Amino acid sequence: MAERVFTVEEANALLETVRPLAERMVADRRALARAMARHARIEGTMRGNSGGISPEEPSAAATTLCEEADAVARCLDQINRLGVVVKDLDTGLVDFPAVRGDEEIFLCWQVGEDEIRYWHGREEGFAGRKELPL
């Protein structure tokens, strides 16, 4: 069983803390994707003839890439420390461990939703979401 188990009410109350973290995680993940693409373009150009690349660009791109990766990791860590499981960095999909009778389940929420309105079995994932109540 999960370290922490939530009721629907507890999970919805914790959204006040989780929502801004998940929103920031999604934004940081988008910034990381842009930094990765920039880094890849610079590396590709350097493998070619390095034309148009200033001497500072590779280092700056690598630094940005590391900073964005660290920002995503910090959000992920903060959410995980709350006992919430991050399922998708790009959409801000998170699961709150819960129990339905004797069954371990997840209360499911993602960025853009007002409150927790869905749940699914441990093995079902997002495609198996069912509307609350349990």
Q: pTM for this structure? A: 0.87
> What element of type H or E holds 58?
helix 57-81
pLDDT of residue 19: 98
pLDDT of residue 22: 98
Q: What pLDDT, in 10s, does the model give residues 37-58?
A: 988 888 877 776 666 777 788 8
What pLDDT tens digit does each residue of the chain (134 aa) get?
567 999 999 999 999 999 999 999 999 999 999 999 988 888 877 776 666 777 788 888 889 999 999 999 999 999 999 999 999 999 999 999 999 999 999 999 999 999 999 999 999 988 899 999 87
pLDDT of residue 42: 86
Residue 74 is classified by DSSP as H
pLDDT of residue 58: 82
Q: Which residues of 25-60 are buried (b: 16+ CB within 10 A; e: fewer)?
A: bbebbebbeebeeebeebeeeeeeeeeebeeebbee
pLDDT of residue 13: 98
